[in-house]
Amino acid sequence: DADVTQTPRNRITKTGKRIMLECSQTKGHDRMYWYRQDPGLGLRLIYYSFDVKDINKGEISDGYSVSRQAQAKFSLSLESAIPNQTALYFCATSPGGTGVEKLFFGSGTQLSVL
Partner 1 sequence: AQSVTQLDSQVPVFEEAPVELRCNYSSSVSVYLFWYVQYPNQGLQLLLKYLSGSTLVKGINGFEAEFNKSQTSFHLRKPSVHISDTAEYFCAVSETNTGFQKLVFGTGTRLLVSP
85 φ, ψ (degrees, to nearest 5): -95, 5
C-beta of 16: minimal distance to partner 1 in Å?
Answer: 29
CA–CA gap between residue 51 and residue 45 (Å, rounded): 17
Q: Which residues bind partner 1 (CB under 8 A)?
A: 4, 40-45, 48, 50, 58, 90, 92, 100-108
Task: Tell me whether residue 59 or residue 62 sits nearer to partner 1 (CB atom).
Answer: 59
CA–CA gap between residue 110 and residue 81 (Å, rounded): 14
Task: Tell me whether residue 53 or residue 102 sits nearer to partner 1 (CB atom).
Answer: 102
Task: Tell me whether residue 74 or residue 104 sits nearer to partner 1 (CB atom).
Answer: 104
